[in-house]
Structure 1
């Protein structure tokens, strides 16, 4: 009852959860051009889910699993009919691959021969996975209502059906660790029996395990997505897109949002985007974003952005890498360390490589 009254009061005053303000890109999130200027390790269509297994780097591209074989080159390690939605690897070469509508397949041989158990078959799309210290597989499900490719629909409805599951080595049915999350976009180990999860639409990180999810880093300036362990403790977080006051306004105007979703193509929604848009109907194409109607402003308001951040073991942000509003490398969805380098995937078609200690 008290929470319901507080929500009504916040709606009336435009405060609390109903506030339209968003955190600024400052401090550890101060903008730079690191992602825009980083060397390209591979160019391919919609790279995603970069991970390391058995000392090799794997990533997904649509329905394919690619293995990096050298600078700018990769070979097809596995192919399928459905898009890959999540991957996780172990030092012994074990690779787990989740596909839309198909659960997670555990396979030591990335070629698909000798594929092992299938976890969570029939559940909603798995959006991220991570192996626990005992080899159990943690599964993050972003939405129980929408497929992984329809994440913007979940934001606009708005969704609160994300969940986290733990699939034991025995092959038994997965155990649910958390539910009711505002989209579980990423997951990584956070100690024995615990995992850190990105609650994307709440713009925060939470830990899950025994008991209710516990917030550990809130008020982020962008939407956190997949998480990967970092050398020396802590983690890397890939951010989907920046938070924006216009989007915050749309999320709070139920009538406008309902008409927008019902009447417009999703490409033209006032919603986060994975790549810069030059469409004439782009809602952010006006002077707020551009100088003299042509050149984008690096500091302009944008529906897309490139951002990967290093979060310390104490869940305090250390530093971050950016591709700003005028950049061409936006929509970073995953990152992983390999041989002293940070590899990060941009939906714009790039896998970039930076030194792990570059600031």
Structure 2
């Protein structure tokens, strides 16, 4: 009762709490720069999405294909699959879990080669957004939504989706899948908690936060990082400790407003082409029909890098306590937007920009300290 009264007051008295349309500013470790835009390009691949590293090199997904990419950017088809690939994970023994959008998770290589897992305890695994191997017989999987496939992630956001789940899958099929958590708002990334504590870290995109869950049993989510200015996606542990986090889009006041105005939101869904919804995107600026905020309009032939934008490129470095340390950006006036996957390859951090269709890399050891904009004024906002 008290909770309902508080929500009513928050809604009508200044838009407080969950009804606030304010967005956290990018400052401190998140201060904007152009480092992602100036990173080295590795390969141009349309709709490149996921990246993993095997002993023989880098694998990335593009549509229904997995490609091998060498250091020079040369590409060779590794395999082709039954549906668009929505996530990739690799085990210590080099088995690969392949998320097939709308179908489930397929295992390639290892002792479970060829197996397809299409159901979880709560229903079909139709939106596999991320996965990780606990061992050769155990896989953890994120099902972003029970209502929409991965390709329609913005539909889930605009419909206020909260049907996501994280499950533990026994690849031997001796035990049924176990839901570790349900009712999540688009879980989009997962990795083991630093320190081998028996817990995992999950990015919950629509709640703009990271949570921890027990890896072996159902548990209540515990928030470890909240109030992010963007939508967190895939997570990757770092060999030096801490984590890499890809934020595949940023929030804006206009988007937050639409998500809270139910009448307008429902009318938009009913009458407007989804391509032009007031919603984040992995790329923007390709059509004059796209929704704009006044600050995003090109003036004097220039798209200001600090303008409000539907798409953005952002990689965040977190320490072992989930505190942001530094970040690299591709801002509104640039193009390497929609960062969907990160993987370490020695001293290089490889990132996939699905918005531009490009694999990029930079030497992350050269940025081991927080960015000092006093000595690098060209990266100051």
TM-score (norm 2): 0.89
Structure 1 unaligned segments of length 5 or more: list them: none
Match of 1:353 in 2: 361
Match of 1:6 in 2: 6
Q: How far apart, CA to CA, are the structure 2 residues paired with 1:229 and 1:44?
A: 25
Match among 111, 131, 149 for residue 129 of structure 1: 131
Q: How far apart, CA to CA, are the structure 2 residues paired with 1:36 and 1:119?
A: 38
Match among 177, 180, 183 for residue 180 of structure 1: 183
Find out whether 1:107 has 2:115 as its counterpart: no
Q: How far apart, CA to CA, are the structure 2 residues paired with 1:192 and 1:106?
A: 26
Find out whether 1:220 has 2:236 as its counterpart: no
Find out whether 1:270 has 2:241 as its counterpart: no
Match among 319, 331, 335 for residue 326 of structure 2: 319
Structure 2 unaligned segments of length 5 or more: list them: 368-381
Secondary structure (helix, strand or coil) at the match of 1:70 reads coil
TM-score (norm 1): 0.94
Q: How far apart, CA to CA, are the structure 2 residues paired with 1:82 and 1:179?
A: 25
The equivalences for 1:83-232 within 5 A come to 83-108=84-109, 115-121=113-119, 122-132=124-134, 136-171=138-173, 172-190=175-193, 191-209=196-214, 210=217, 211-232=219-240
Q: How far apart, CA to CA, are the structure 2 residues paired with 1:328 and 1:205?
A: 27
1:237/1:309 contact within 8 Å kept: yes
Secondary structure (helix, strand or coil) at the match of 1:219 reads coil
1:141/1:162 contact within 8 Å kept: yes
1:174 Cα deviation from its structure 2 partner: 1.7
Find out whether 1:236 has 2:244 as its counterpart: yes
1:192 Cα deviation from its structure 2 partner: 3.7
- When residues 134 and 75 of structure 1 are mapped into structure 2, their CA distance, relative to the original with a 3 A threshold, is closer
2:93/2:136 contact within 8 Å kept: no
State the Cα RMSD in Å.
1.7
Runs of 4+ in 1 over 6 A off after TM superposition: none
Match of 1:248 in 2: 256
1:69 Cα deviation from its structure 2 partner: 2.5
1:53/1:94 contact within 8 Å kept: no
1:322 Cα deviation from its structure 2 partner: 0.4
List per-residue Cα deviations over 1:308-334 (Å, max 9, x = no partner): 111111110111110000001101111
List per-residue Cα deviations over 1:212-233 (Å, max 9, x = no partner): 0110000001100111111222
1:288/1:300 contact within 8 Å kept: yes
Q: How far apart, CA to CA, are the structure 2 residues paired with 1:192 and 1:119?
A: 27
